[in-house]
Structure 1
């Protein structure tokens, strides 16, 4: 138990879960995978990314069983829809207001739960609360949701950021669901939903779309690419180093000694573009626009981005601020190694190299000295080495 909590009415709480699972049996596996952690530090109920459900005893006492059943389903929905995993892919500026992210996620969930006839406690938000259209994902709702204010917190299992009551992954005695187990639960739930719907059972449109995506996934390559680039840049900018250009604030305490201070270097990025004859212009332009858009969004631009046009040799190399300034030259054979080597041999080598290619190219024998993201245009190309982060961009 976290916090000093009065006795939890487990009979009432578990009766509500039983009611939720009985009335919507396709959710039973997910509901019964949640372990209960009583605590006074959570205002109502919340979940972490390990499928632990933190419960306020006072909230259980004050809430009817029918509404508690709805809250059980609401919290399970955060985990089934992998809200914390999706939140991890947001830009840092959007993730910073975790409760605003939570509100957008609640809009995505409650829209379906209310359509399904579930009772929820007063104060729940829906898209209509903010004059937003129904049936969207939380990423689409974010721009229309105001700053969080005093919104309730559903925990790190929703917005992805640690909550005050989180046990985290360090408590060996706390029950937890691994990511592999979570994927199995999601798939089992999606299969149960599909069977329920085919049996002419009522299933909200949002849950139907979710089940179809789990069982027959269509990868959002833009989201994956953006997440990979942001993660690589975050890693690069976290590589702190010492500098004497700005003395340490501890220096005055040691007379006659000049101490260096820590700095976080701004990452440099090299974009190596395959301009051989096999590359399709439309798909290449689309992927390039996505890369430059992400770089601009995270503040890497100007003289920190170098673009190299490469077929069997480097045909052009320039620093650019917009995609319109990129000069694509080539049309011959294919060897991305020469472009990667040229990028790494620069006076100021990059922290991240992004290679846009169809995959029909030799690769370096060893991992690059920096992060390398291989963006493969089209589905037919061979896989790059296992040490490269690989993202496939469809051509249709």
Structure 2
């Protein structure tokens, strides 16, 4: 225990913005744990043999690794991913653990924190760094790593699937949901207070904690159901889940149908009436939309629009999008540009202050309008009594900010 706690102090020294989270973990000694692991209730299970054979600085790196799973909410995200796809077996659990490790191992080491032996990184599969767990799960099978990494087990805190050796919600020293959220918020405050020390991935995470995106998952969930309900829409054939009709045709394997996430086009109002802060909020919403479609950035495109629409740009990273505009506002051109895209989007999301004319006819796809929240204020001059037209009734409207 003395060595383990000394390693935690070293982790706090080199990563001070994670101090609150590191000191919130309750240590549980357990010889059945492969190395170190965490559960969803912020307990850290530790094998004495692993501590004895691991150098202190490497042990500090494992502390940071395990607490990063909890801060990034890998257990909640892993549960959602498994529930959406019905993937609960040991192989699927290992894939989620590997993908979660890919997300955090690319930038938590260095600067006084050596990378422990066996730490997995995206380069093992020639994958780019800086992606989310869900994106790695979608872009790689990881079957080539499964045999070599069968020992990998970071606990339910990494993938949401409970282990036999975990104490569960009624065990000692479990943190409540409110306590866990409080720890994450204090970590985000510390990251933002040390902008020169925290890696880019942590800074991006902290920004989203302070500016939580709107619930696009629920909105786009309705859009998925609407798109999939159309004849031939939202579905594709796959042999991974053969059709039940194959039972009636011996020797013939028929493909089954799978639901596909929607193709989304985001039209961002870049007119002069939209502030830089609101444009920054719009980019956060674009990142949230990409996660809502399962991390499929290839399904999301962005159009900058003031009085005229720009080119539909495929999404690579929200922070890399160049927003062009500054003139008047007419989002009708943005809607027209989106509908000319091939393939045509299943959903159009318009992020605007509402100071725009709207299309006279309902687009042939689901439409969501995000209105930037504006404080009530008295106008002056000739436009003092001007009230912009509200979004059409066929659009789902959500206040942003």
Give me the TM-score of the superposition, normalised by structure 1. 0.55
Q: State the Cα deviation string for residues 2-33 of structure 1 (Å, max 9, x = none).
A: xxxxxxxx100000001111221110000000
Match of 2:85 in 1: 92
Aligned to 1:112, what secondary structure does the other structure show?
A: coil
Distance 1:394 1:115, change over 3 A: farther
Q: Decide whether the 8 Å contact of 2:20 with 2:183 is kept in 1.
A: yes
Q: Is residue 107 of structure 1 aligned with residue 102 of structure 2?
A: yes
Aligned to 1:46, what secondary structure does the other structure show?
A: strand
Aligned to 1:53, what secondary structure does the other structure show?
A: strand
Match of 1:35 in 2: 26
Match of 1:146 in 2: 142
Q: State the Cα deviation string for residues 144-163 of structure 1 (Å, max 9, x = none).
A: 14133314100001110011
Q: Decide whether the 8 Å contact of 1:52 with 1:175 is kept in 2.
A: yes
Counterpart mapping for 1:338-357 below 5 A: none
Aligned length: 247
Q: CA deviation at 1:73?
A: 0.5
Match of 2:131 in 1: 136
Aligned to 2:27, what secondary structure does the other structure show?
A: strand
In 2, Cα distance between equivalents of 1:322 and 1:134: 28
Indicate which of 193, 196, 211 corresponds to 1:195. 193
Q: Decide whether the 8 Å contact of 1:87 with 1:95 is kept in 2.
A: no
Distance 1:21 1:145, change over 3 A: farther
Indicate which of 101, 112, 115 corresponds to 1:120. 115
Match of 1:159 in 2: 159
Match of 1:168 in 2: 168
Distance 1:65 1:176, change over 3 A: same
Distance 1:219 1:114, change over 3 A: farther
Q: Decide whether the 8 Å contact of 1:41 with 1:164 is kept in 2.
A: no
Q: CA deviation at 1:114?
A: 2.7
| RMSD across aligned positions (CA) | 3.6
Match of 1:185 in 2: 183
Aligned to 1:72, what secondary structure does the other structure show?
A: helix
Q: CA deviation at 1:116?
A: 5.2
Aligned to 1:180, what secondary structure does the other structure show?
A: helix
In 2, Cα distance between equivalents of 1:101 and 1:153: 10
Q: Decide whether the 8 Å contact of 1:83 with 1:105 is kept in 2.
A: yes
In 1, Cα distance between equivalents of 2:225 and 2:235: 11
In 2, Cα distance between equivalents of 1:134 and 1:322: 28
Q: Decide whether the 8 Å contact of 2:14 with 2:112 is kept in 1.
A: no
Q: CA deviation at 1:118?
A: 2.3
Aligned to 2:37, what secondary structure does the other structure show?
A: strand
Q: Bigger CA drift: 83-92 or 117-126?
A: 117-126
Indicate which of 267, 288, 293 corresponds to 2:226. 288
Q: Decide whether the 8 Å contact of 1:102 with 1:158 is kept in 2.
A: yes
In 2, Cα distance between equivalents of 1:121 and 1:138: 20
In 1, Cα distance between equivalents of 2:87 and 2:110: 28
Q: Which runs of no fewer than 5 residues in structure 1 stay unpaired?
A: 1-9, 230-270, 272-283, 302-320, 324-355, 357-374, 381-391
Q: CA deviation at 1:115?
A: 5.4
In 2, Cα distance between equivalents of 1:294 and 1:181: 41
Counterpart mapping for 1:239-278 below 5 A: none
Counterpart mapping for 1:291-310 below 5 A: 293=234
Match of 2:390 in 1: none
In 1, Cα distance between equivalents of 2:156 and 2:133: 15
Q: Which runs of no fewer than 5 residues in structure 2 stay unpaired?
A: 244-257, 261-346, 348-365, 372-395
In 2, Cα distance between equivalents of 1:294 and 1:60: 50
Q: State the Cα deviation string for residues 203-249 of structure 1 (Å, max 9, x = none).
A: 21111111111111224624x568xx7xxxxxxxxxxxxxxxxxxxx
Q: Is residue 82 of structure 1 aligned with residue 86 of structure 2?
A: no
Aligned to 1:378, what secondary structure does the other structure show?
A: strand
Distance 1:127 1:219, change over 3 A: farther
Q: Is residue 72 of structure 1 aligned with residue 63 of structure 2?
A: yes
Aligned to 1:84, what secondary structure does the other structure show?
A: helix
Give me the TM-score of the superposition, normalised by structure 2. 0.55
Q: State the Cα deviation string for residues 368-392 of structure 1 (Å, max 9, x = none).
A: xxxxxxx994357xxxxxxxxxxx7
In 2, Cα distance between equivalents of 1:14 and 1:137: 30
Q: Decide whether the 8 Å contact of 1:116 with 1:203 is kept in 2.
A: no
Q: CA deviation at 1:395?
A: 10
In 2, Cα distance between equivalents of 1:59 and 1:26: 26
